[in-house]
Amino acid sequence: MNATLIALVGASGVYLLVSAFDRKRRPPANPEQSEREPWPTRVRRWLDQAGLDGVSMGELVAATALVSGIGAVFGALCFGGIVPALGAATLAGATPLATYRQRRQRRRAAAEDAWPALVEEIRVQCGSAGRSIPQALLDVGLRGPAELRSGFEAARRTWVLTTDFTRAVGTLKDQLTSPTADAVCETLLVAHELGGSDLDRRLAELAADRREDMLTRKDARSKQAGVRFARRFVIIVPIGMAFAGMSMGNGRAGYQSPVGQTLVALGIALVAACWIWSGRILRLPDEKRVFA
């Protein structure tokens, strides 16, 4: 019962910390709009803005509660106290959120890597095949990576209903939220509205630029592989030392003393801080959106 309560408290703490962090990063929403929207819509928007599109709130809560419970049991068995168990539950409860966001970032990175080939195919469709710019963009996008298809589907619906390429491009940009998609859409929009014979050259230059950026980021990620491997020791080493201290003499009794409980809670907090800090150092700079 105590482990379940600690797990629920840990899951709630993770939720409050993440929601507070996201509120600081985002501009405040329209209060009137928030009052009109039902709470499932607001929860869905929060998940999307937190990088958890495709993950339901029930799935996130269940995974967080389960992992928090495991962390609480581990903390209680190792250190024999409520405070370390609560700290271990909170630290473990952040794992599902981080895992979902990391998985989404990997999918988005893979989708970004596909843009040079998509731009080249659009160039061929508009040039050699003689397709119209809207048709070439939508046909190529719908055959692209799964991470991009929902945005192209929404843009295709807008195009079919309105035949307004500006609105279709705006829908696509809003759905994909990608600097590369912004650049491609603006290039095609200008060519569609103003015409010109240099579209082939411009798309070729854009594809070359995106390809160079993709290779640079891949090279940077490969150079970080060793550091990322070493980063895992931030978690592994303290756990190993805690087990070693518990098995030596009356180590477990020392953990249960008031000073021991305080030091264990401080150690868990420092592990979490070091993990977050090292992750921020390893983060590659995001390309800013110009045409958002």
Q: What single-letter amino acid sits at 252?
A: R
Place of tokens 């008031």: 258
Structure tokens that stand for 16 in this block: 């409050």
**93/194 same-domain check:** no
Asked if 138 and 267 sit in the same domain, the reply is no
Residue 192 has pLDDT above 80, yes or no: yes
Task: Determine the distance from the C-alpha atom of residue 183 to the mean position of all C-alpha atoms in its chain, rounded to a whole number.
Answer: 22
Residue 30 has what DSSP assignment? Answer: P
Q: Predicted confidence band at 156 (pLDDT cuts at 50, 70, 90)?
A: very high
Residue 64 belongs to a domain: yes
Taking the alpha carbons at both ends of the chain, their separation in whole angstroms is 50
Does residue 27 sit within a domain? yes
Task: Convert the pLDDT of each residue in 230-250 to its tens digit.
Answer: 777 777 777 777 777 776 766
Closest CA to 278 of 239, 231, 238: 231
Domain span at 133: 114-221
pLDDT at residue 103 greater than cutoff 80 = no
- Residue that terminates a domain, selected from 221, 248, 264: 221
* pLDDT score for 288: 74
pLDDT tops 50 at residue 30: no
Is 124 inside a domain boundary?
yes
> What amino acid is encoded at 96 in this protein?
P
Give the count of domains, the chain: 2
> Are 75 and 141 within one domain?
no
